[in-house]
Amino acid sequence: MPLSKIAGIGMYVPEQVVTNNDLKKWMDTDDSWIQERTGIKERRLAHRTEETTTTMAVEAAKIAIERAGITAQDIDFIVFATLSPDYYFPGCGVLVQRALQMKEVGALDVRNQCSGFLYALSVADQFIKSGMYKNILVIGAEKHSMGMDYSTRGRNVSVIFGDGAGAVVLQPTEKENQGILSTHLHSDGGSAEILAQYNPGSHANHWMETPVADFEEAEVGEMFMSHAMIDKAQLFPFMDGPAVFKKAIVKFPEVIVESLTKNGYTTEDLNMLIPHQANLRISQFVQQKLKLRDDQVFNNIMSYGNTTAASVPIALCEAWQNGKIKEGDLVCLAAFGSGFTWASALLKW
Ligand code: UT7
């Protein structure tokens, strides 16, 4: 059974740089609070009208496809991970198919938030290993800026997130000892409401002890989205940051070690860990817990913030472009986020 390898990788971040101090024009915050708690110095925000999650994804995909030495017409399947799609439906995969004038290939959208890219990669990996497809485009992209509360009310969430996209082309390997060795996927829905965007949705407060929208007065046609939801700022994401932090620092090391153990390796064998860029403090905690050297961990959250499904492919791309990942290196990708879901992939570059 052939393993799958990353044959090409690309990233795209919008031009607009927004520093911590720039955020002050919208909210009461300060640079030192953001840097001390998260490590973030600046993030990129997409153009308000000219860029979407899909347009950014397409830019990243073009680079990945070119670097794989193929054309868009050679792609035989698309897997797209995002929590900020252009449309509620259809998903972004079909928009990529259209934008890149691909053949009428399958396009699958994945909704696993910060772990989304790794879930997408794992699905693609199975299709390659089974022999069903030969060139799969796997994308993680987000335009968070479209749906964040940039007032002081939403500052505990909005300062963290940034926009961008990353993409890879997966192909079967011809070489021995190269490619994705294993992927590991987990979830714990017990904490689904701790980091979530409840509205618009079909929940009708069903899962909540404290209602998150007013449905009592709503007519049937107003259940999805109402003026009250807008007036009460109920259309923005909710995050219990400290609760997420506590779980993340347990599950990140666990899933990294799981991938190493499964393949007979230890942390000393690891050349590079690419953690989901959630918070620099989380990455530092994981590094300390696993006793990894600085050169074994890559972080770029300082420049881009947390780009959710895009963060792992953007970080992987930048680490590779900066010469920090070379052929034969043992690389671990790991993520944790809303759901909760968490995941890892171990690969030989
Ligand atoms: O990838 C998705 C997964 N998400 C994560 O991994 C997030 C994990 N959690 C975190 O990264 C951290 O919990 C945060 C960075 C979100 C928050 O840091 P914290 O140290 O947990 O702060 P906190 O939420 O406990 O808030 C502490 C204080 C509060 O003020 P009071 O109540 O102590 O007076 C907040 O109102 O900081 C205040 N605060 C801010 N102050 C300035 C919250 N946001 C801001 C802000 N600027 N942007």
Pocket mutation for ligand 1, best pick of 22, 144, 156 (most atoms within 8 Å of C-beta): 156
CA-nearest residue for atom 43, ligand 1, is 156
- Of the candidates 20, 92, 114, 135, the residue annotated as catalytic is 114
| Residue 255 confidence (pLDDT) | 98
The reply to whether 101 and 141 lie within a common domain is: yes
For residue range 267-305, what is the model confidence (pLDDT) as tens digits? 999 999 999 999 999 999 999 999 999 999 999 999 999
Percent helix, strand and coil across the chain, each to the nearest 5: 40, 20, 40
Ligand 1 atom 19: the closest Cα is on which residue?
242
- How far, in Å, is the centroid of ligand 1 from the Cα of 241? 6
Residue nearest to atom 45 of ligand 1 (CA): 156
Q: Is there a catalytic annotation at residue 276?
A: yes
Active-site choice (276, 300, 317, 332): 276
CA 156–ligand 1 middle distance (angstroms) = 5
User: Which CATH number do you get for residue 145?
Assistant: 3.40.47.10
The residue whose C-alpha atom lies closest to atom 41 belonging to ligand 1 is 29
Domain count, the chain: 2
205 tagged catalytic: no
Strands 136-142 and 106-110, bridge-based pairing: unpaired
For residue 200, pLDDT over 80 is answered with yes
Q: Which helix (H) or strand (E) holds 43?
A: strand 42-44
Q: What is the pLDDT of residue 245?
A: 97
Residues enclosing ligand 1, CB less than 6 A?
Answer: 29, 33-34, 37-38, 114, 155-156, 159-160, 195, 241-242, 244-245, 248, 278-279, 282, 306, 337
327 and 255 together in one domain? yes
| Active-site choice (199, 300, 306, 317) | 306
CA 158 from chain center: how many Å? Answer: 16
Region 206-214: mean pLDDT is 90
My answer on whether 122 and 184 are in the same domain is no
In a domain, 228, yes or no: no
Residues 106 and 185 in one domain: no
pLDDT digits (tens, 9 = 90+) for 47-99: 999 999 999 999 999 999 999 999 999 999 999 999 999 999 999 999 999 99
Among the three residues 142, 173, 204, which one is the final residue of a domain in this structure?
Answer: 173
Residue 92 a catalytic site member: no
For residue 229, is it within any domain? no
List, for residues 38-57, the tens digit of each pLDDT value: 999 999 999 999 999 999 99
Taking the C-alpha atoms of residue 61 and residue 47, their distance in angstroms, rounded to an integer, is: 19
State whether 98 and 185 are in the same domain: no
Domain of 318 in residue numbering reads as 179-192+239-348
Final residue belonging to a domain, choices 124, 140, 173: 173
The per-residue pLDDT for 87 is 98
Kindly tell me if the per-residue pLDDT of 216 is higher than 80: no
Output the pTM of the full model. 0.97
**Considering the domain boundaries, does residue 206 fall inside one?**
no
Distance 159 CA to ligand 1 centre (A): 9
Q: Scan for tokens 């995050």, then name that residue.
A: 239
Instruction: Give the range among 184-188, 222-226, 328-332, 336-340 with minimum mean pLDDT.
Output: 222-226
What is the number of the ligand 1 atom nearest to the C-alpha of 248? 6
- Kindly state the greatest CA–CA separation across the chain: 64
Asked whether residue 210 is domain-assigned, the answer is no
Domain shared by 285 and 269, yes or no: yes
Whether residues 183 and 90 share a domain: the answer is no
In sequence order, what E strands does 54-178 have? 77-81, 106-110, 136-142, 164-172
